[in-house]
């Protein structure tokens, strides 16, 4: 699992090394909702778990044009956050229910 500090907020693009991991835990205290771009990397697609442990909603996107999937953060400080299983189909992020 890669831990990604999202305190800076805005749009965060994961590195190729980050993309290679099977799970992502978003941490930190951003001042507003933010986006995380997780490209497909060297593969044509991926299936990953994204755990948002921040205090804000993180919209996970495959690219800047993708509307993405919002993953809610903590409802209150004692919450752990929310984990969604997501698929990057090569052009969009899709939630797997």
Number of structural domains found in the chain: 1
Please tell me the predicted confidence (pLDDT) of residue 88.
Answer: 95
Please tell me the predicted confidence (pLDDT) of residue 16.
Answer: 87
Q: Give start and end residues of each alpha helix (H) in 8-88.
A: 16-19
3-state secondary structure of 17: helix
Separation CA 40–CA 67 (nearest Å) = 16
3-state secondary structure of 62: coil
Please tell me the predicted confidence (pLDDT) of residue 1.
Answer: 93
Please tell me the predicted confidence (pLDDT) of residue 69.
Answer: 98
CB 58 within 8 A of CB 73: yes
Separation CA 20–CA 24 (nearest Å) = 10
Which domain covers residue 41, as residue numbers?
2-95
Does the structure show a pLDDT above 90 at 12?
Answer: yes
Q: What's the whole-model pTM score?
A: 0.94
Write the pLDDT tens digit of every residue in 31-86.
999 999 999 987 789 999 999 999 999 999 999 999 999 999 998 889 999 999 99
């Amino acid at each position: 699992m890669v831990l990604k500090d999202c305190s800076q907020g805005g749009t965060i693009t994961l590195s190729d090394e980050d993309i290679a991991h099977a799970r992502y835990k978003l941490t930190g205290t951003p001042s507003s909702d933010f986006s995380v771009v997780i490209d497909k990397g060297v593969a044509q697609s991926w299936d990953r778990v994204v755990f948002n442990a921040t205090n804000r909603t993180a919209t996970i996107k495959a690219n800047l044009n993708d509307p993405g999937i919002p993953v809610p953060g903590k409802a209150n400080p004692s919450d752990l956050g929310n984990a969604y299983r997501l698929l990057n189909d090569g052009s969009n992020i899709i939630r797997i229910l």
